[in-house]
Amino acid sequence: MNTEIALMDTTTRSELTALAREARALQTAAGKLADRLDRAIQTAGATDADETPYKRADGRLTDAGIAAVNAAFEAGATVTEVAKQFGIHVSGASNRKKIWQAMAATR
């Protein structure tokens, strides 16, 4: 192979050298991309496992979500804060607060 390279003209040799350099750069970039994707997958998996589902697929609060909203109201959170924190509409948070207040009054 060395004889073949020796017989190549200078232009061909420099073009092959440039291609080899580009191939190494692509290999490095592909490795970095694979690492980033692995981290993203691990992070998403960890977040999904740790997160308590407060909402059902239809958007309604689960029992855990209702308990968390009630706890937020008990801690003094406003309707707007609860709506933002749990990703629900302000009117939904207001309705939950009325229910929470009625339940608290009967205790």
Residue 43 confidence (pLDDT): 76
Residue 75 has pLDDT above 80, yes or no: yes
- Residue bearing tokens 């580009």: 22
Task: Round to whole Å and give the CA distance between 22 and 27.
Answer: 9
Sequence-ordered alpha helix ranges (H) in 8-106? 10-50, 63-74, 79-86, 90-105
Of 44, 43, 64, nearest to 53 by C-alpha is 64
Residue 101 has pLDDT above 80, yes or no: yes
Give the pair of three-digit tokens for residue 12.
């061909």
Tell me what the pLDDT averaged over the chain comes to: 86
Beta-bridge partner residues of 61: 55
Residue 9 confidence (pLDDT): 84
